[in-house]
A and B are shown apart, each in its own frame.
Chain A
Amino acid sequence: MIQISNLYKRFGKFVALNEISLSIDRGKVMGIIGPNGSGKSTLIKSILGLVRPTSGSISIDGYEINGEADYRRRIGYMPQLARFPQDLKGSEILGMIKKLRGANPNMEKVLIDLFELQPELYKRIRALSGGNKQKLSIVISSMFDPDTYIFDEPTAGLDPVSSTRLKDFIQSLKQKNKTVILASHILSDIEELADDITLLLDGNIRFTGGVRDLKLKTGQPLLERAIVEVLEEAAA
């Protein structure tokens, strides 16, 4: 479970997150939606410790993030754009991360098989397609079977088969009582996977709750329309 309290982040004069409070439960997928510059990345990076909040607090499964690094063992992160050292092989990058964590990657083989990545692991990164780099990124994020997953635009660049497999994998995480954050512009993915959504705009939360609640609140049967209505309401 992730508990965010009064999270405030300012870059110079620009307020990226304005006193955000949010609770993300275990066994659920929280979809984070918002236009570019709404604060999605800052929120995710704050949870990961890449951005230092100006004020406020974040705790993961009861452990407050305070600048230490070890809590990240609990998190698997898949970035929007997977970029690796061009001259290394996938297997070498996986080897490095395994050494670094010193933990058993009990999901490694399952994921490599699921995304048919085995033949690609021994090629240099510069020879891999964008989709295969994404798949490598999935393996890195999930091979240690962490309790919390953060996926940033995970299906972008994946072929339909891999995309479907990834979505099935994310669904399976709910049954394993994991906490999942899914940031995406692809609303069909959000609708398919998310139990709850948080709608960010200009660093503020405009809505947080169940997908069905949002539809009921706005009276719109389609998620896309419901979101647009909330955004227009906020702009008015």
Chain B
Amino acid sequence: MKQILQFGLFSLKDVSRNMWLLIYTAFFALVTIGLFQFQGHSGKVIVSITSICLVLIPLVSILFGTMHFYNQREFTELMLTQPVKRRTVYTGIYLGLATALVIGFLAGVGFPYLIFGMGGEIEIVSLLVLIVVGTALTLIFLAVSFLIGAIFDDKGKGIAAAISFWLVTAILYDGFILYIATVLSDYPLEKPLLALSMANPIDLARVVLLVQSDIAALMGYTGAVFNRFFGTSLGIAIALLSLTVWIAAPLHWGLARFRKKDF
């Protein structure tokens, strides 16, 4: 455990000097401040910030993680020639990167939100839910990026897989669900659609954000379905459990691949 933390701190120190992480934080801060300045203290701001987070956090986390994995490959190899277990190296680097990205997101969205967004219609609960969901998305897409790194030796293939995964989960999936809903509109589809939503971490995150607000109608068909069924604590619990599985499963699978991998 001590070695995992040492690795985590080391990776954190490394990526905290990365220019792209600073740009990520600054972009979030600018967007959040800008939205509060232009749209005032209204529910619309939360919708806008949420929409941006749902697209940007997965994209940045998966690309940042994948690039880091491949760029540091030789150094990771060197670390693996030290008397440390592969599990330690993998988990430590993951923790370091996750901490850096979550801090970037918190500093970019959380602080401006606290400074400019409090009062009026906006409550602290909205911010807390946004933080939980943003953190979960960071952890999920970073875990997927590490899994991709552990599966593909070729950097090009890895980056292509990362972008494809993001494209499917962030954009194509909702279109696919909408298509099914339209084509099969004569059938009772609520339950299959619920199951389909659970299969996509971004949809799941969207549901969690929706259920605590009254903006379901603005957020796509899957959101509306989920809101009707799971606007309860049971619904939230199931969604949170699913998000946790979405973090644990790729992390576990990626680690299993990493431990067997030839470098």
Contact = CB atoms under 8 A, between A and B. Distances in A.
Interface of A: 11, 45, 48-52, 69-73, 75, 77, 79, 81-85, 87-88, 92, 96-97, 99-101, 140
A83 B75 contact: yes
Contacts of B260: 52
Nearest to A71: B83
19 contacts: A11-B262, A45-B262, A45-B263, A48-B81, A49-B80, A49-B81, A50-B77, A51-B263, A69-B83, A77-B78, A77-B81, A79-B77, A83-B75, A84-B75, A87-B14, A88-B13, A100-B6, A100-B7, A140-B78
B201 to A, nearest CB: 29
A96 B262 contact: no
A51 B80 CA distance: 11
B85 A51 contact: no
Given A79-B74, A85-B72, A96-B6, A101 B18 contact: no
Interface of B: 3, 6-7, 10, 13-14, 17-18, 72, 74-75, 77-86, 260, 262-263
A101 B83 contact: yes
Contact of B14 (A51, A82, A85): A85
B75 A75 contact: no
A127 B82 CA distance: 25
B83 A73 contact: yes
Given A87-B14, A87-B18, A99 B81 contact: no
Nearest to B87: A69
Contacts of B77: 50, 79
Nearest to A48: B81
A100 B84 contact: yes
A156 B146 CA distance: 32
Nearest to B9: A96
Given A51-B262, A70-B83, 19 more contacts: A45-B262, A48-B81, A49-B80, A49-B81, A50-B262, A69-B86, A72-B82, A72-B83, A75-B81, A79-B78, A79-B81, A82-B78, A87-B14, A87-B17, A88-B13, A92-B13, A99-B6, A100-B82, A101-B82
Q: Give 10 nearest A-B pairs by CB, closest first.
A: A87-B17, A83-B74, A50-B263, A72-B83, A85-B14, A77-B81, A51-B262, A73-B83, A69-B85, A48-B81
Contact of B75 (A51, A77, A85): A85
A81 B72 CA distance: 13
Nearest to A141: B81
Contacts of A73: 83
A92 B159 CA distance: 29
A83 B80 CA distance: 14
**Most chain B CB neighbours (cut-off 10 Å) among A81, A82, A87:** A87
B9 to A, nearest CB: 9
A159 to B, nearest CB: 22
Contacts of B10: 92, 96
Contacts of B83: 69-73, 100-101
A96 B76 CA distance: 13
Nearest to B68: A85
B260 to A, nearest CB: 7
Contacts of B74: 79, 81, 83
Contacts of A83: 74-75, 78
Contacts of B17: 87-88
B14 A88 contact: yes
Contacts of A52: 260, 262
B255 to A, nearest CB: 15
A69 B14 contact: no
Contacts of B72: 85
Contacts of A72: 81-83
**Most chain B CB neighbours (cut-off 10 Å) among A82, A87, A100:** A100
A96 B80 CA distance: 13
